[in-house]
């Protein structure tokens, strides 16, 4: 991963993922979920993921990296939103589903407006 790609992922995490995490966190833990915490979860998750993917390669590294990142994301959510593991898992799953749906809708809108699909940009 190069530096520009990392910056793009951090911006996307701050702009798209943080509001989703914040809203879902509010549903589950109330006022303990602050927007700044959601931004930190997204940014730290992307940066830690980039570092882990830098050090791990190949199929085994990919599987191990995925398992490590699941633990990291859950640790970030439970730490910043001050909740237990089960609530953290629920927040992660629901936020992931909502984030996926929002990404699909935004991608479809951009393609309909004439922008190329994202994979062709890279």
For 50-62, write each residue's pLDDT tens digit: 888 888 877 777 8
Segments of the chain with pLDDT less than 50:
120-122
Give pLDDT, residue 75. Answer: 97
Give pLDDT, residue 122. Answer: 44
Domain with 23 in it: 3-121
- Provide the number of structural domains found in the chain: 1
| Eight-class DSSP state of 113 | T
């Amino acid at each position: 991963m190069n530096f520009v790609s990392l910056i793009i992922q951090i911006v996307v995490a701050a702009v798209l993922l943080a509001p989703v995490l914040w809203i879902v966190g509010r549903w589950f833990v109330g006022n303990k979920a602050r927007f700044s915490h959601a931004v930190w979860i997204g940014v730290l998750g992307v940066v830690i993921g980039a570092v882990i993917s830098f050090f791990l390669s190949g199929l085994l590294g990919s599987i191990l990296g995925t398992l490590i990142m699941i633990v990291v994301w859950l640790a970030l959510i439970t730490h910043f939103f001050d909740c237990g593991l089960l609530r953290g898992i629920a927040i992660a799953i629901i936020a992931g589903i909502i984030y996926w749906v929002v990404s699909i809708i935004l991608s479809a809108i951009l393609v309909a407006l004439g922008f190329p699909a994202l994979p062709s940009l890279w």
